[in-house]
Structure 1
C-alpha cells in the first residue's frame, strides 16, 4: 500500500519549513502560519512512525533482523546527508574567498556552528545528541540525526518487548510525559533534546498505525470529505496559534491528519493522491535537506554580490529564485544521490516503496 495523500502532505510540510526559514523577509513577516511552521518537523516524525511500523513491524522479530533494517535506513538517509554536508563545507570555503577578496561579510566564516569537531559529529550523525550548544553545519540535518537513532531504539524495543508492547509504550509515554511536564509542555527542541521530541512523535505515529488497522475501511464519501476539509482548517488554525506550552499536542493533531488522509476515502485525499502531486512526496527529503544551502547561497549572491535591493519586489524575486533552485537541486539529488545505495526500483516491493516515503 502506498500512502500517497500523506506523502503529498509531507512534501507540502517540507515547503512550509522552507518558508519558515524565510520568515525574516518583510514580504513574509507577520504570517503566523509561516512563523510557526517549524512544527511540521513533528509531522515528519509522526509519519515516519506510521510508515516504518507498517513496513517493518512484521519483519523485525529478533536481534538478527535489526541489522538489515538499520543498514537499509542508513542507506536511505546517509547519502543525501553527506552530500549536503559537503555542499555546506564548499559553500563556507566559497564564503572565505568572498570575504577576503570581494566584499567583507557580516557573518564570520567558519563560525562556532561550523567547527571541526561538529563536522566529525555530523559525519557520524551524532550532531544532535546534546553534544553541542547549537545547531551545526546543515541545520535541518539535526532531525535526520535523531531520527536514525530513534529507528534503532524502536527496533530494539520491538524485539525485546514485543509481547508487552502496550506496557513498554505506556512506560515510554510516562517518561516522556515527565519530561514534557518538567519543560512546561514544550517539545520544540533540536540539538539538545531532539531525540526525546523524535521518540515522542515516532511513538504517536506507531500507535496511529496500530489504531488504523482496527478501523473499518468503509465510510460515507460526503461525510469523510467534510471531515477532511474541517481537519485541514483545524490544522492551519492550530499551527497558527499554538504556543510552546501546547506544542506537545501537535503530534496528536498530525496523527489524526495521517489517520484520516491515509485512508484516501474523501475528496481532498483523492486529490492529494493524484499522480500530479507525486513529485512532492518524492522530493520532500531533498527539499528538506537542500533548502538552507540554497537560501544561503542565493542570499550571498543576490543581496551581497549582485546588490539586489531588499525591497518587496527584491525579496519576492529572492523567494521565487530560491524555491526554483531548491526544486531543481532536489530533482538532481533525488535521482543521483538519495537513491544511490538503494535497490533498483524495478525490484522493490510495495512495502519498500512505502518505506522510502519515510525520512
Structure 2
C-alpha cells in the first residue's frame, strides 16, 4: 500500500505508517514509566511523566477512527456493526490478560495454603473477585471502584471502548435526526469536548492523571481532540509541512513538555500537545518519518496493544515476584518503599534497587525485550484470531440488516 499523499487538500492515504510506529514507541515508554526498577532512566522527568503517553493513544485513536469510519457511520445499523468490530478489537486480549491475572492469583492461593507468604494475600485488594464483573464489561473507568483493579492499565482500554460508542452515536444522530443542520456533528463534538475539559479541571485531583475515577472523561477529551485534528489534516496541503523543521520541532516539544508537565495544571494541555505531534507526523514528510519508516517500527506499531496490555502482568509476575523470592533466599534487601508512589499499586509499590549502573540498565532492556516478545506472540495467538472472529460476527450482523440500510463498508 502506498504511503505517499497527494498534495491537494482533503487527500487521504491508505495507512499512517509513522503514526503506527509512534504508537509502539509510546507503549514502550508507558511500560518504562510503570517499571519499578531503579536505573539511570527511572528518575528522568521525561519518564516519570510518561503516564501522559496514554493521552497520545487517545488522540491518535480519535484521529485514526475518524479517518477509518467517520464517513461511514450514518445509521443505527452502522453503529451496531461498528460496536461489534471495536469490541472485537479490544475485548479478546483484555479478557485473556484478565484470566492470566486470575490464574496468577490462583497460584498464589495454592502456595499460600502451603505456608507461603506474599506482599498482598491472594484475591484481596485490587485483585478481589467482586471486581471481576466490572472488568469484564469495560466498567473500570467510571469511578465504580475507588482504585485500579486487576490489570491496572486496562482502565484506558475500557474508557476508549465507551468513547468509541459515544463518538459513533454523535455521528449517527447528526446524520439522522439532525441531518438538516450542516454542522451538527461539529457542534456536538465541541460541546462534549468542552464539557469533558470542564469536568477534568473541576474534579481531577492530580491533573490529567485520572484513571479509575475520571478516565472516561479524560479519554473523551483526547479522542475528540484527535477527531478535530484529523479534520484539520484533511484540509491542509502537504506542502505546508514538507520540510525537516516541523518534525524536529515536535521532538523538542515532546521532550520539553513531558519533562515539565507533572500533575498540575500544565498536564491538562497534553491532548493539545499530542494533537500537534499527530498532525505533523501524519504527513510523513520529514527526516524523523524517514528514520521511522522501517519494519522494526512497523512491528512495534502492530503489537503496541499487546505491549500495553501485558506490561503490568509481566512487571508483577516476572519482575517483582522473582525479586521478592531472591530477597527471601539471599536475605539481601533489594527493594525500598521509602518515597515510592506506584502507578500500578499492589506489589509495584516497591522500588527495586539492584545497585550499580550497568546491571539496572541491562535488566531494564531485558524487560523491554521480553515484553515485546510476549506481545508478538500475543498478537498472533490472541489479537488476530479475536479480530477475525468478531469481524465474522460483524459480517453476520450486516447481513441481518435490511438491504436498504446495510452499512456501507463497515462489515469489511
TM-score w.r.t. length of structure 1: 0.90
Q: Distance in 2 between matches of 1:117 and 1:35?
A: 32
Q: d(CA) in 2 for partners of 1:103 and 1:320?
A: 31
Task: State the Cα distance separating 1:304 from its structure 2 match.
Answer: 2.1
Number of the residue aligned with 1:71: 84
Bigger fraction of residues in helix: 1
Counterpart-to-counterpart distance in 2, 1:299 and 1:271: 32
How far 1:6 moved relative to its partner? 1.0
Q: Give CA-to-partner distance per residue, 1:74-96, whole Å, 9 cap, x none.
A: 11111100110001111112223
* Partner residue of 2:30 out of 4, 7, 17: 17
Q: Which runs of 5+ in 1 are unaligned?
A: 348-354
Task: For 1:36 and 1:177, locate their aligned partners in 2 and report how far apart those are by CA, in whole Å.
Answer: 20
Find out whether 1:106 has 2:119 as its counterpart: yes
Name whichever of 77-86 and 113-122 sits farther off: 113-122
Once the 2 structures are TM-superposed, how far is the Cα of residue 252 of structure 1 from its aligned partner? 0.7
Q: Secondary structure at the match of 1:137?
A: coil
The yes-or-no answer on 1:320 pairing with 2:333 is: no
Three-state SS of the structure 1 residue aligned to 2:303 is helix
Alpha-carbon offset, residue 273 of structure 1: 2.3
Of 337, 342, 350, 2:387 maps to 342
Residue equivalent to 1:261: 281
Change (3 A) 1:122 1:270: same
* Secondary structure of the structure 1 residue equivalent to 2:386: coil
**Mapping 1:20-169, distance limit 5 Å:** 20-23=33-36, 25-101=38-114, 103-162=116-175, 163=182, 164-169=184-189
Q: How far does the alpha carbon of each residue in 1:283-305 deviate from its partner, in whole angstroms, 9 at most, with x for none?
A: 10000000110111112443122
Residues 18-27 or 259-268, more deviating = 18-27
1:311 matched to 2:355: yes
Answer whether contact 2:30 2:53 (CA < 8 A) is retained.
Answer: yes
Cα distance per residue 1:113-150 (max 9 Å; x no partner) = 11222111111111222110001000111011110000
Per-residue CA distance 1:54-110 (angstroms, 9 max, x = gap): 000111011111011000001111110011000111111222344444742223322
Equivalent pair of 2:22/2:301 in contact (CA under 8 Å): yes
The corresponding residue for 2:218 is: 197
Query: 2:200·2:218 contact (CA, 8 Å) conserved in 1?
Result: no
| C-alpha displacement of 1:26 | 4.8
1:175 shift after superposition? 1.5
The reply to whether residue 288 of structure 1 matches residue 308 of structure 2 is yes
Q: Is the Cα contact below 8 Å between 2:170 and 2:189 reproduced in 1?
A: no
1:212 to 219, 230, 233: 233
RMSD over equivalenced CA pairs, Å: 2.2
Cα deviation, 1:295-332, whole Å, max 9, x if unaligned, reads: 11112443122448533455445423322221121111
Q: CA deviation at 1:264?
A: 0.5
Indicate the residue corresponding to 1:225 in structure 2.
244
- Do the aligned partners of 2:21 and 2:300 also contact (CA within 8 Å) in 1? yes
Contact persistence 1:23–1:35 (CA under 8 A): no
Question: How many residue pairs get matched?
Answer: 344
Where 1:231 maps in the other structure, the secondary structure is helix
1:241 and 1:171 mapped to 2: Cα distance?
29
TM-score with structure 2 setting the length: 0.78
Distance verdict in 2 for CA 1:132–1:219, change over 3 Å = same
Indicate conservation of the 8 Å contact 1:113/1:134, yes or no.
yes
SS in 1 for 2:387: coil
Number of the residue aligned with 1:350: none
User: For residue 178 of structure 1, what is the aligned residue in structure 2?
Assistant: 198
Q: 1:274 deviation in Å?
A: 2.4
